Amino acid sequence: MWSQMGFVGRQVWKSLRELFWTHFLTVATMTMALFVFGAFMLLQENLQHLLKGWGDQIQINAYLDKSLGVGDAQSLLVRVQSFPEVQRVRYISQQQAWKEFQAALGAQSTILEGLPEDVLPASFEIAIKPAFRDGSLVEGLAARLKKEKGIATVEYPQEWVDRLGLVVLVVRWAKWIFGGVLFMVTFFIVGSTVKLAILARKDEIEMMQLFGASEQMIQAPFILEGMAQGIVGGLLAVFCLWSLFQSLRDEIPTVVGLVGPLNQFQFLDLRGMALILVIGWLLGAAGSLFSLKRFVKSWKG
C-alpha cells in the first residue's frame, strides 16, 4: 500500500517537473476562472449584507396633518403601535423635526433663517418587525396607514431595497453563468493537460499495463495531478481575491458609501473560501477523469 502510494507520488512529481509549463498554464486558467467566480461571490455576499443592513433600517415615515392636535396624535400613535407589523413608533413633533433638520444641515443651517419653526410637519417613524420587511407587506402597511385619519402622507424606501434585491439576484445568476462558462473552459483545459501528460508517458503507461499494473495505479497519478492543479488554482484565486480586497478596502466605502452603510464590507467567510477550493478540486479531478476515460477507451480500440 505504502509502496504503491510512494510510486504514485513519484509519478506525479515527475510529471509536474517534466510538464511544468503545461501545468503552470492550467493552474493559471484555473486560478482565473475561480477568481472570477470568487469575485462574483464576494460581490453577492456584500450586497446581501448591505441589503440586510438596509432591511434593519427600513422604516415608514408617516407625516401628520398640521391640524392634528397633540392629544389626537398620541391616540393615533397608540393605534399605529397596535398594528401587527409594527415594531415601534417614534413620534417626532414639529419642533423636534425642525431641530433635527437644522442639525442635519450643520453649518448650512443659516439658510433656514426667517422660516417659521412649524414649517415641517410632525411625523411618526415606524420601525417594522423583521418578519414583515418584505416588499409587498411594507406596501400593504403603508397603504393602510395612508387611510388613517390624521396621516397626510406616507414615505418608505422599499423601492430602493427592492432594486438592490434585484441587483443581488442578477449578481447571483451572473456568478453561475460567467463561472459556469469559465468552469467549462477550465474543465477542457485540465483535460487537455492530462491528455498531454498521458501522451508524454504513453510508452510508460503501455509498459505498466503489460507488466500488470492495475487501472487505479495507472490512473491515480493523473487524477492526483488534476486535483493538485485544482487546489493550487483555488488557493491562488483566494489569495488574489484577498489581495485585491485588501487593496480596495479603503476605496470601497467612498464609492459605495453613497448608497449604504459604511465599513461593513467583508471578505469571504471560511465556507466561501472552502467552496472555491472544492470547486477547483472537483474541476481538476473531473477534467482528468474525463480525459483518462476517453484516452483509455480509444487506446483499447
Partner 1 sequence: MIQLVHVFKIYPPNSPALTDISLEIDKGEFVFVTGPSGAGKTTLLKLLFRAEEPSEGQILLNGQNVNRLNSRGVARLRRKIGLVFQEFKLLPRLTALENVALAAEVIGTSKRESHAKAYHLLRELGLKEKCDVKPPTLSGGEQQRVAIARALINDPLLVLADEPTGNLDAEVSEETMRLFLKIREHGTTLMIASHDVALIQRYGTRVISLQRGYLADDLQRVTKQENGR
Binding site for partner 1 (CB under 8 A): 1-4, 6-7, 10, 203-204, 206-215, 217
C-alpha cell at position 225: 495531478
Min dist. Cβ of residue 1 to partner 1 (A): 8
To the nearest whole angstrom, how small is the minimum distance from the Cβ of residue 210 to partner 1? 6
What minimum distance in Å lies between the beta carbon of 289 and partner 1?
16
Q: Which residues pair with 88 in a beta bridge?
A: 127
116: left (phi over 0), alpha (psi -120 to 50) or beta: beta
> Least separation, in Å, of the C-beta of 6 and partner 1?
6
Smallest separation (angstroms) from partner 1 to the CB of 195: 19
3-state SS of the chain: helix, strand, coil percent to 5? 75, 10, 15
Question: DSSP state, 109?
Answer: G
Nearer to partner 1 (CB atom), residue 2 or residue 21: 2
- Collapsed DSSP state (helix, strand, coil) of residue 164: helix
Rounded Cα–Cα distance for residues 167 and 160 (Å): 11
Position 92, amino acid: I
168: cell is: 443581488
Using alpha carbons, select from 205, 232, 165 the residue that is nearest to residue 296.
205
